Amino acid sequence: MTAAERGFLLLCAELGDGQKPLTLAQLRTLRARVLARADRSANLERAVTENDLRKLGYDSAFAAHICALLAREEALSVYLGIAAQHGIRPLTCISADYPTRLRRLGDAAPSVLFYRGNAALLRRPSAALVGSRDLNPAGEAFARKVGRLAAQEDLVLVSGNARGADRIAQEACLDAGGAVIAVLPDGLQDHAPDSERILFLCQWGWHLPMASYRALERNRLIHALGRKTLVAQSGLTGGTRRGAEENLRRGWSPLFVHEDGSPGCAALISLGASPVRLEALFSIRSLQPWTHE
């Protein structure tokens, strides 16, 4: 791990020590202010002082907060040491293996990720599946079919490991010999991969409990990691609907919606999602458009 990566973790990782880390937007502002100084005296490669930060335009309280984050060296070492015992590793947004596709999230991109499993799956072509927790039979059949097709077409399936559409698609993909990236709304300590075909991924901290706002944040990662995103079923409200709408606004990945006649899916189609009928879904790769980066 480089000194810069360690600095990112000090500033942006949740270490369970009560300190509120910087957001990626705050970190970018800090870097921009450092680089804008002619003498570059407040360099993050050395010990930064509150005086350095006040010269960069920060008030005393926020300057003290940044220094407190950077002083967490011992806490970070302990945190990473415990993680390593469980096979958990960090990635920062300047790490060589950080997923390129997540950069399209801009200021919403996580500055820190933690993973458990085969990180090489992040470099393979992928398709994402989202959907409701309580599925009707057609939605269940759609999720299962997407999982099987992902395996057959050598696409890593990206989903959220939630009850319903996520787990049905993930299990179908794995049963068919495919690979899965599960983006979690909670920590990694209770999620151990049993093969090289699984990667568990979370943001900010590997120990964090489930929280509704983290579930909404992780939906962005799912949509961005998939080169296409398919919606098995959606209500008129809820996390699936909100994530799909945000994807349509921001263009993270082409969005395809199961055309099941429900008001929720019809609403997404009216907003610009491409409709897909279950009986006509024979290939994920052939769905247009497909992104190649």
Q: Please choose, from the candidates 282, 276, 286, the residue with its C-alpha nearest in 3D space to the C-alpha of residue 255.
A: 276
**CATH of segment(s) 119-280:** 3.40.50.450
**What is the model's pTM?**
0.91
| Domain spans of the chain, in order of start | 3-85, 119-280
Alpha carbon separation from 243 to 80, 109, 158, 192, 251 (Å, rounded):
31, 14, 14, 26, 12
> Nearest CA to 40 among 23, 55, 59, 58?
55
Q: Measure the CA–CA gap between 257 and 118, rounded to whole angstroms.
A: 29
Annotate 67-81 with b (16+ C-beta within 10 A) or e (fewer).
bebbebeeebeebbe
As beta bridge partners, residue 140 has: none
Torsion angle defined by CA atoms of residues 191, 195, 196 and 199, in that order, rounded to the nearest 10 degrees: -20
Per-residue pLDDT of the chain (293 residues; tens, 9 = 90+): 888 899 999 999 999 998 999 987 888 888 888 878 755 444 545 578 899 899 889 999 999 999 999 999 999 999 999 999 999 999 998 898 999 999 888 878 888 999 999 999 999 999 999 999 999 999 999 999 999 999 999 999 999 999 999 999 999 999 999 999 999 998 899 898 999 999 999 998 999 888 877 888 899 999 999 999 999 999 999 999 999 999 999 999 999 999 999 999 999 999 999 999 999 999 999 998 876 55
Secondary element (H or E) of residue 90? strand 88-92
Cis? peptide before 289, omega within 30° of 0: yes
Looking at residue 41, its pLDDT comes to 47
